[in-house]
Structure 1
Amino acid sequence: MSVGKNIPHDSSRGHVTGGSVFIDDRGLTQKEVFVLPIGVPAAAGTLMAIDASKALECPGVLAAFTAKDFHHNHWGTIIPEQPILVQDKIGYYDEPAVILVGTSMDALFRAKPFVKMEIEKAPAILSIDEAIAKNSFIYKANAFRVGDADSALSQAKHKLSGAFECGGQEHFYMESQACVVYPMEDGQVEVHSSSQHPSETQHVVAEALGLHLHEVVCVVKRMGGGFGGKESQAAPFAAMAALVAQKMQRPARLCLTKDDDMVMTGKRHPFKNFYEVGFDDDGRILALKAQLYADGGAYADLSSSILDRAMFHIDGAYYLANAHIEGFACRTNFHSNTAFRGFGGPQGTMTIESIIEDIAAYLKKDAYEIRQLNCYGKEKNNVTHYGQKLDHNPLPELFARLKNDSAYDSRRKEIDQFNLNHQSTGKLKGLSVTATKFGIAFTARFLNQGNALVNVHKDGTVQVSTGATEMGQGINTKIQQIVAHAFGINPQDVKVMATSTEKNHNTSPTAASSGSDINGAAALKACVELQYRIAWLFHHIIMGTTMNDIAECPPLEKDKLKLEEYLFENGQVTHLPSKKSLPFADLVKRAYLNRMSLGEYAHFKTEGLGFDKARSMGTPFNYFTNGVALSEVQIDIWTGEYKVLRTDILMDLGRPLNPGIDKGQVTGAFVQGMGWVTSEKLYYNKDGRLLSHSPTTYKIPNVQDTPRVFNVEFIENHENTQNVHRSKAVGEPPFLLGISVWTALKDALRYKAPNTVDIKSPATPEEVLMELSSYE
């Protein structure tokens, strides 16, 4: 049995010893050159001319290329409107406009100041409010409607309205955008990229160079982190390197510095959401009207889908009988914002969690009571505002069990008592529970497909290739376990190969938390076909009708075989009725001698999905991953600084494929989510230039920021029959639980606030101190 066990990450030893190979670890080849993109020093306007002549005179500089050198200069996952290099119209500050090529990065950095650009500047849109005022939108979503929000709102006894704001977030992956491109025979190119979406990288490179798709191969061994930032935006950098490789017929390496990566690439979308909420004396939500505004940046990228998911998740874990939700993606002059872990879900969920805190403050109640009252039910109040029913909903159980296990009631009393003395202690404490109900599937239905190639070798070892990409999240290890479990062999006898578009074509990105789901299911499907062949051979060995010079195993007839009678376990295959066993490796060798195929390709698509965008109703998700988190914080009222004293997380992950890896995903996602809502603030100057573009100016959480006490538990759930081995996706859902730190800060500030607490996210110590100061 391999599934459900804590086997080590397949690259753990390599990561620790330094043996793991990332893009810039690849050895230099003969005549290889280096590529440096250079951005424009303006956020808006027209690029009139580029003069790289002085730079080309610098030692070690070989060439410069601009937009006109591409066969096709535009790309875009949904709308192909973004230039690979600026040709005329400028979208954002530091947008790439020219690439220098040289024999070393040092030579290119020395030459960079000599590249001159003539620019005719124009006014830039640098806020959501300004975009709204100027009607500058990339996308307007169809509204989500359920019940009669206007009528219910007008009749509600209590109403609150306001605007919730949350900022962007830098992906801060350890490995910046990186690729190496090799020119091959007959005009082909081979791209090695740090990309979550090899197929899109292949497509963008082919279009940019004027090639057909079969002339480009994209290979992804692993990434040093991705978090969504390499889903779409790895592709244009690969196209830049590919242009150099094609034009110069030399291998080309493009590996951005952290500073260049941060100023050139998109972030999590900032949102500003306006709302009106009506509720009764108990705090039951009767109606919600909301308008969500996402800052898409200069180009469309994935903004429309991200906005849609925010609208899907505006309910959080709470039933909305009457709702009217509108959404708008704003076009501004910031870097084109893109996918980021949660993909709009956090921005929607955080809005409703903030509203619930405000309802509790308004009614002078405990926010936990408001959450429990509004939580989705099991038999009733279990249909979302877009018409999807919550099957086997564990949310009530999660809330109740977390409250009991964390000693919520006694801690609430202790904190209330502690806060009465805040003037003498200089401290305030807060306690808050938030939830995640994260829909699993791509909201674009066609992306919910994957394929796998499983090759069994004569010694009984296996190589597996899928469209999934490994970015540290352990997807290769999970697929390794699925395949090992299917054949009943040691996981060490299974190798998951580098992802390559020549083996797995037209793949979906490793995103939407569905990488293990669709690729693992495809791998299992391929394994089942191979199980049939091996069992069929075993059947004929038992019958004595094969394995001699005359008789050969006849073609497979599935209707004559009961696969459930054959047990693949502990390196053996056992025919249960006869109790006869043979080693798996022995059967494999015999299958080869019988000229039976020991390789299988399988395609998988997620069934049961269907969402009508015109009506904004349907089933966009395969299932939901659920969880709750309780966080306790302590604030210094004189400085605004705070600590996370304790966090308790309880999650439903079905039957985890690898509990250890899943626990790592939960804790990592929580800390990253906590960073988004607390310390990770993006600072720009008045011209739209990013100032916080390095580890010295951008604050991600460190070990001192993590909860002093950190408890993570999973509930037992065998009900998720929709997914491989009844597991549930884990990549994005726990990110939303980091919101509990922010709501705990709101809860602490209630003791000083005259009414509701109005803080933005991220709630930096400066933001908290300014809020405290406003109460004096």
Structure 2
Amino acid sequence: MPGIFFNVNGKDVSEENVDPELTLAYYLRNKLGLRGTKLGCEEGVCGSCTVVLGTWDDEENKAVYRAVNACLVPLFHVHQTFVITVEGVGSREKIHPIQDRMARGHALQCGFCSPGFVMSAYALLRNHPDPSIDQINAAIRANLCRCTGYRPILEALYSFSPESGGCCGGNKNGGGCCKDKSSSSEDEGYDDKLLSFNDFPKYDPTQEIIFPPSLRTYVDSEDQSILEGSRIELTLPKNLTQFKQSREGKNVISSGLITRFLTSRHPKEFTQKWITTRYVKEFNEVKVDASSVKIGSALNIQKFADTLSCHLPKEVGCKVAKFIQNFSSPQIANFATWSGAIVSAAKSSISVSDVLILLNVLDAKLSLLTESGELIEVEIEKFVEQKLFETGTIVYAKFSKSDRGKLFCLKLGETSEQDSTNFNFAALVGNKSSRIFVGLGGQPKRLTGLESYVNKEKSYNLDDFYRASNLEKNHHSSTALTRFASFLKNGNIEENQGKVNYLQYFKPTTNESAGRPIANYFNERAITGEALYVNDIPAHNAVHLGFVLSTLPNAEVLNVDFSEALKLEGVAGYFGVSDVPGNNIPGLQIANMNFPDDTTIFADKKVEAVGQVIGVIAANDVPLARRAAKLVKVEYKELKSLVDFEEARDAESYLGDVQHYGKDEKTVNESFEKSSKVLEGEVSIGGQEHYYLETQSSLVIPGEGDELVVHCATQGTSFTQLMVAEAMKIPAHKVIVKTKRLGGGFGGKVNNASWIACMCAVVARKLNRPVYGFLSRADDLAITGKRHGVYAKYKVGIDSEGKIEGIHYQAWLNGGWSKDHSEGVTMVMGILVDGVYKMGNLRFDGYPVKTNSNSNTALRGYGNPQSTLVNEGVMRRIAREVNKDVEEVKKLNFALQGDHRFMGGKIHNDALGECWEYCTNWSEFEKRKRKIEEFNRSSELVKRGIAMSSVRFGLPHPGPTGHGIASLLINLDGSVQLSIGGTEMGQGLNQKMLQVCSEALKRPIESITIVDTSTDKITNAPETGGSQNADTNGLAVLACCEKILSRLQPIIDKNDGEWEKSIREAYASYVPLQCTEYGVVERTKFGVQETESPYNTTGSCAVEIEVDILTGYNRVIRVDMVMDVGESLNPAIDIGQIEGAFMQGYGLVTCEKITFNKATGQLEQNTAGKYKIPKASDVPKDFRVKLLGINKANGAQVYSSKGIGEPPLMMSCGAVHSAIMYCVDDWRKHNGIEEFVDTISPLSADKIRELCSKK
């Protein structure tokens, strides 16, 4: 049988036969056990699977390294290639400088995405040991992180650049050190460095692993080979002659990426014969002569761009390289072929291709191999228009080296970078002739009229451009022609991302452990690929689940036919509601630990949303299970559905009772009668996807006597334990749930995680085999709930100054098809709707609405971000009415320490006023605002805005979640083992608990370990969330330490403090060396009622944003965040939480959309590529964070620290939204549009363009 030969991390590997559908990622993880390569999306979007491929360049006589997405690369493509994974880069024993700087530089939180960032940076350093800042920015632009906010990642990687020179780039822009700009006496006593990268040794590229000599000396067979898979037979010719001889009868000619990607998603089974261009010599050549450049069709897009950049005239080549940099991602460009890109675009009437328009504007000629075996040369336009791709095969593209002129390229998508293209425009303008094209879908349209106009005229008027081009007037064409005119007038003006500047201020501590910015103990494990997540845990003889999902939003299920799926070899069975031995709706029976939830494990005779799980297929591997699941046929009787949120509101379709809080309507109406003015408004807030990088994952291992061990990525081990027990009809003591860590949670792994665990448990019992339930990103998006979208109305009475005297809120929350957390989120939004304000007589009516869509759930903030955004609209509305600045109106209405919330609770230990004043001064808010006003007066198409927002978050929460559990044991060697009830999901909880334990026991932190959260150690623990877990678990850890020390202290004193000797003596004296304790939040001791929070985490932030009115794109110029977290347990972790929350809040109000197709019920953002989260390029250009450290922490009981996870998100989304609306309002005012725009979120590019249009 034919084989392939390659090298992985320095070890030669041979495979005799390879399934053409087998991906490199699957092979590395499941055949070689290299689990550091993570699967986050399996679409080439998130970058978590990034590995490096090294090949030898004979012409350059050196190795060339490229970062690629292992989830997309077929294994057969790595023949004669050096494959490097994160494990090959370094280990904890011999850590690589990239890994070391990221680990010690706090550049990871959950750690799931971190190996991908390492590999992208590694590829860069192997090719460019002294990279520029721009090269670093470009290298990681396709790696997504949901936790950190990217700043610490960028800081760690910038340290490899000679251009770095500290946080402000060594004062290279001539503006002075950013640390000097707003420093004052108030900054005295603060540290301004979490870590200095100057202390690290200089990177030495000579210490890298060498390119394997075996690959250079390997002599490949000149004969073509054939690979036989379960569905595809693939021919691999080595030269053009073999390709000609073998092409006949082949269903697909594959360059390797797009066709394989689409095939993997094919809904039906098939058998096909393919042929690949991958190893055809003539398809992989670059030929350059005096007049032309020829680029082989099997070369990747990056090689294509590099070649043109090198050999075309400089002014053209540089622009080509820049344009391709915006193509998809480096990983995709490093693997996908340029020919595959243009063929796939040519076959589509709607696809807009950047590569295709580039070939058109550069007047490329294609060498085409015809069906008869002839080589002909055709123009690129003819190739598409005559559909020559249906019969011919591209051998190479030829470009003239004499084409001189100015090249202009424009790409427009939903977001400004790293996005699919909705519209593009390219022009090559010469002295005597020009070529101009616009991409509208399929073959780009040539604008001959505009070409003639540009060649003759020197007046670049937009109306004249429209007449000449004959383009339809819309925002895309307007943007293109306006930018093109500016290009012709002013030349090429481009701005790179540049260096992110950053400041982090915190107060130093005298403690040995608690309060120090110690790097998370887990960082080195994650950054080297050693850390195991659920889907990384090996299990013998396991099956994997494929999920059969509803395709209708509301229907009766008449029949499920899984017979075709069972015919596939390796499929173990189909399982559905009839296989559940216990309760199919377990959430209703354990409501004392959560809100009552009527979600089903499997649909029972009816489905109520697209994506609801009907059943599962169990099979021997993941691809097979997913293939088989697509073969299951479901017969429905369709019912009337309510997918549309507005229609469901009008139909009064509710999930439970309407909730009322505050005053009665009569009292509120009396306030309106006494008010100077009464204002009304409406607010629309979209939902948000959690987008944890690790999708929902469970592994259930059956044991004896009905016992089950459940490894689950859950935020609530005890909750999942009870859910599984209820579903399986067994006592909870037979279920052990273990969680080592989560690859992100944000509230999405509370209820959602438990359903997947229940499904796995059902199948594990039936088959008596271990069962993995690992959702693809598409299935995760389809199945799981998101943040509740909200439609709200407000009626507010104010006095003449703008002070609120009464307000009536009505809020409808989109709950989806089942209860989940909808009643809880409605309640929290209602009881905390006053936020930071005094609102007089307040009434809140909350309506949890039932729609036939995803069942929405908990997400960071849990109703608070929605109320924040509603209040931003209220404050902007009042400010407009009384002709004051929004910030002045906010301050006028602040509730401060000693005031009461509208629900009656007193505000304790609160520093809101101090945070606001400090942030106002530190950010130089008024001075910058005046400059922005001046800028906007003279700028028509680019607007700047600035806004401030604040947050108050009472902690810990009253009720049953306000306790923690910990277990501590001391081994005879003196080492300490700690276990807590909270789960680590990237928020640094475990590290904080280690520092608390170390401080309390006065033991080195290295002598303490924290083990996985497990119900056989800690049971009945509340779910982890709500920003209070360092409080609750910390109190439990302190209680354990106090109990242990009370037993040991006499012995320790007798032995002069010698710990190990004391432990042995205690053991010999029968002194217990372990204990389990509850941590209960004290309230009465601090004069706090049981229904109140002992303290408030408070903060204020100022955000400056720039908006391009033509495109709707925005960029964050500067952010100043001031937070009071008491005396931080770990400033690095808290600052990381603040920065990460800021970026998640930014995404909520800008680029993250949740919409459903009304007719089909389908989520429209149903793939990783369609749902947009912030990228590294979205990080504020100047990002400043200060932990104020005010001593108003009487109620903070764990070393005077306060919780932090959620509060920054609230002030982030408020300030970002208001800063963008500042830009929008300014444009509307200067264009004579006086109508007030209330809160609409997200303010995506298309929404901004809509608001900034003259109707």
Which of 1199, 1210, 1218 is residue 736 of structure 1 equivalent to? Answer: 1210
Contact conserved, 2:713 with 2:749, CA < 8 A, in 1?
A: yes
The equivalent of 1:670 in structure 2 is 1142
Q: Give a deviation string over 1:33-83, Cα, whole Å, max 9, x none.
A: 111221011011211110101110112111001101102211324224211
Residues in 1 aligned to 2:732 and 2:695: alpha-carbon distance in whole angstroms: 26
Contact conserved, 2:616 with 2:629, CA < 8 A, in 1?
A: no
Instruction: Name the structure, 1 or 2, with higher relative contact order (CA <8 Å, separation 6+).
Output: 1
User: Shift in Å at residue 759 of structure 1?
Assistant: 4.8
Task: Answer yes or no: is 1:246 the counterpart of 2:735.
Answer: no
In structure 2, the CA distance between the partners of 1:392 and 1:214, relative to structure 1 (3 Å rule), is closer
In structure 2, the CA distance between the partners of 1:227 and 1:533, relative to structure 1 (3 Å rule), is same
User: Shift in Å at residue 247 of structure 1?
Assistant: 0.8
Contact conserved, 1:201 with 1:238, CA < 8 A, in 2?
A: yes
The equivalent of 2:673 in structure 1 is 154
Local SS of the residue matching 2:1146 = helix
Letter in 1 for 2:1173: I
Residues in 2 aligned to 1:609 and 1:634: alpha-carbon distance in whole angstroms: 49
Letter in 2 for 1:171: H
The equivalent of 1:693 in structure 2 is 1166
Which of 758, 761, 767 is residue 1247 of structure 2 equivalent to? Answer: 767
The equivalent of 1:594 in structure 2 is 1069
Local SS of the residue matching 1:28 = coil
Local SS of the residue matching 1:289 = strand
Task: Answer yes or no: is 1:603 the counterpart of 2:1078.
Answer: yes
Letter in 2 for 1:653: V
Local SS of the residue matching 1:109 = helix
In structure 2, the CA distance between the partners of 1:598 and 1:618, relative to structure 1 (3 Å rule), is closer
Local SS of the residue matching 1:632 = strand
Local SS of the residue matching 2:895 = coil
5 Å-filtered alignment, 1:406-417, equals: 406-417=923-934
Contact conserved, 2:908 with 2:1094, CA < 8 A, in 1?
A: no
Letter in 2 for 1:410: K
Task: Answer yes or no: is 1:627 the counterpart of 2:1099.
Answer: yes
Task: Answer yes or no: is 1:726 the counterpart of 2:1200.
Answer: yes
Which of 877, 884, 887 is residue 365 of structure 1 equivalent to? Answer: 884
User: Shift in Å at residue 141 of structure 1?
Assistant: 4.8
Which of 1128, 1132, 1138 is residue 660 of structure 1 equivalent to? Answer: 1132
5 Å-filtered alignment, 1:223-234, equals: 223-234=742-753
User: Shift in Å at residue 597 of structure 1?
Assistant: 0.5
The equivalent of 1:577 in structure 2 is none
User: Shift in Å at residue 120 of structure 1?
Assistant: 0.8
User: Shift in Å at residue 620 of structure 1?
Assistant: 4.4
Letter in 1 for 2:1119: T
Task: Answer yes or no: is 1:48 the counterpart of 2:570.
Answer: no
Contact conserved, 1:310 with 1:349, CA < 8 A, in 2?
A: no
In structure 2, the CA distance between the partners of 1:392 and 1:514, relative to structure 1 (3 Å rule), is closer
The equivalent of 1:757 in structure 2 is 1237
Letter in 2 for 1:415: I
Alignment size in residue pairs:
724
The equivalent of 1:428 in structure 2 is 943
Contact conserved, 1:144 with 1:385, CA < 8 A, in 2?
A: no
Contact conserved, 2:1097 with 2:1124, CA < 8 A, in 1?
A: yes
In structure 2, the CA distance between the partners of 1:648 and 1:142, relative to structure 1 (3 Å rule), is same
User: Shift in Å at residue 698 of structure 1?
Assistant: 0.7
The equivalent of 1:354 in structure 2 is 873
Contact conserved, 2:909 with 2:1194, CA < 8 A, in 1?
A: no
The equivalent of 1:96 in structure 2 is 613
Contact conserved, 2:1035 with 2:1081, CA < 8 A, in 1?
A: no
Contact conserved, 1:677 with 1:738, CA < 8 A, in 2?
A: no
Task: Answer yes or no: is 1:20 the counterpart of 2:534.
Answer: no
Contact conserved, 2:1032 with 2:1081, CA < 8 A, in 1?
A: yes
Q: Could you list the runs of 5+ residues in structure 1 that have no partner in the other structure?
A: 543-580, 611-616
Residues in 1 aligned to 2:1111 and 2:1145: alpha-carbon distance in whole angstroms: 23
Residues in 1 aligned to 2:597 and 2:1120: alpha-carbon distance in whole angstroms: 44
Once structures 1 and 2 are overlaid, which stretch shifts more, 631-640 or 268-277? 631-640
The equivalent of 1:3 in structure 2 is 514
Once structures 1 and 2 are overlaid, which stretch shifts more, 189-198 or 719-728? 719-728
The equivalent of 1:555 in structure 2 is none
In structure 2, the CA distance between the partners of 1:187 and 1:435, relative to structure 1 (3 Å rule), is same
Contact conserved, 1:310 with 1:345, CA < 8 A, in 2?
A: yes
Contact conserved, 1:679 with 1:701, CA < 8 A, in 2?
A: yes
RMSD: 1.7
Q: TM-score, normalising length from structure 1? A: 0.91
The equivalent of 1:572 in structure 2 is none
The equivalent of 1:220 in structure 2 is 739
Contact conserved, 1:361 with 1:750, CA < 8 A, in 2?
A: no
5 Å-filtered alignment, 1:49-88, equals: 49-71=559-581, 72-76=583-587, 77-88=594-605
The equivalent of 1:703 in structure 2 is 1176
Task: Answer yes or no: is 1:127 the counterpart of 2:663.
Answer: no
The equivalent of 1:507 in structure 2 is 1021
Residues in 2 aligned to 1:100 and 1:442: alpha-carbon distance in whole angstroms: 41
Letter in 2 for 1:427: V
Contact conserved, 1:758 with 1:771, CA < 8 A, in 2?
A: no
User: Shift in Å at residue 439 of structure 1?
Assistant: 2.3
Contact conserved, 1:32 with 1:250, CA < 8 A, in 2?
A: yes
Residues in 2 aligned to 1:140 and 1:627: alpha-carbon distance in whole angstroms: 34
Once structures 1 and 2 are overlaid, which stretch shifts more, 584-593 or 483-492? 584-593
Contact conserved, 1:388 with 1:618, CA < 8 A, in 2?
A: no
Residues in 1 aligned to 2:1181 and 2:1096: alpha-carbon distance in whole angstroms: 30
Contact conserved, 1:454 with 1:465, CA < 8 A, in 2?
A: yes
Which of 821, 824, 837 is residue 302 of structure 1 equivalent to? Answer: 821
Residues in 2 aligned to 1:442 and 1:99: alpha-carbon distance in whole angstroms: 38
Which of 300, 313, 316 is residue 835 of structure 2 equivalent to? Answer: 316
Residues in 1 aligned to 2:1065 and 2:549: alpha-carbon distance in whole angstroms: 61
Residues in 1 aligned to 2:835 and 2:1156: alpha-carbon distance in whole angstroms: 31
The equivalent of 2:204 in structure 1 is none
In structure 2, the CA distance between the partners of 1:439 and 1:55, relative to structure 1 (3 Å rule), is same
Local SS of the residue matching 1:140 = coil
Once structures 1 and 2 are overlaid, which stretch shifts more, 137-146 or 403-412? 137-146
Contact conserved, 2:533 with 2:742, CA < 8 A, in 1?
A: yes
Task: Answer yes or no: is 1:461 the counterpart of 2:975.
Answer: yes
Residues in 1 aligned to 2:918 and 2:981: alpha-carbon distance in whole angstroms: 38
Q: Could you list the runs of 5+ residues in structure 2 that have no partner in the other structure?
A: 1-511, 588-593
Local SS of the residue matching 1:481 = helix
Query: Whose Rg is larger?
Result: 2
Residues in 2 aligned to 1:173 and 1:377: alpha-carbon distance in whole angstroms: 35
User: Shift in Å at residue 155 of structure 1?
Assistant: 2.0
User: Shift in Å at residue 388 of structure 1?
Assistant: 1.1
Letter in 2 for 1:214: H
In structure 2, the CA distance between the partners of 1:609 and 1:621, relative to structure 1 (3 Å rule), is farther
Q: Give a deviation string over 1:84-136, Cα, whole Å, max 9, x none.
A: 00011212101000110111112222222320001111121123322222121
Local SS of the residue matching 1:527 = helix
The equivalent of 2:1154 in structure 1 is 682
Contact conserved, 2:722 with 2:732, CA < 8 A, in 1?
A: yes
Q: Give a deviation string over 1:171-202, Cα, whole Å, max 9, x none.
A: 00010000111111111110000000111111
Which of 998, 1002, 1005 is residue 491 of structure 1 equivalent to? Answer: 1005
Which of 1046, 1068, 1072 is residue 532 of structure 1 equivalent to? Answer: 1046
In structure 2, the CA distance between the partners of 1:406 and 1:162, relative to structure 1 (3 Å rule), is same
The equivalent of 1:574 in structure 2 is none
Quick one: percent identity of the two aligned structures? Answer: 31
Which of 300, 321, 325 is residue 844 of structure 2 equivalent to? Answer: 325
Residues in 2 aligned to 1:717 and 1:48: alpha-carbon distance in whole angstroms: 63
Local SS of the residue matching 1:645 = strand
5 Å-filtered alignment, 1:434-453, equals: 434-442=949-957, 445-453=959-967
User: Shift in Å at residue 207 of structure 1?
Assistant: 1.2
User: Shift in Å at residue 618 of structure 1?
Assistant: 7.7
Q: Give a deviation string over 1:581-609, Cα, whole Å, max 9, x none.
A: 32222222221121101101101223439
The equivalent of 1:113 in structure 2 is 630
Q: Give a deviation string over 1:711-751, Cα, whole Å, max 9, x none.
A: 00011223323231111001111111222111111122222
5 Å-filtered alignment, 1:199-218, equals: 199-218=718-737
Once structures 1 and 2 are overlaid, which stretch shifts more, 631-640 or 223-232? 631-640
Letter in 2 for 1:446: P
Task: Answer yes or no: is 1:651 the counterpart of 2:1126.
Answer: no
User: Shift in Å at residue 473 of structure 1?
Assistant: 1.0
Local SS of the residue matching 2:1240 = coil
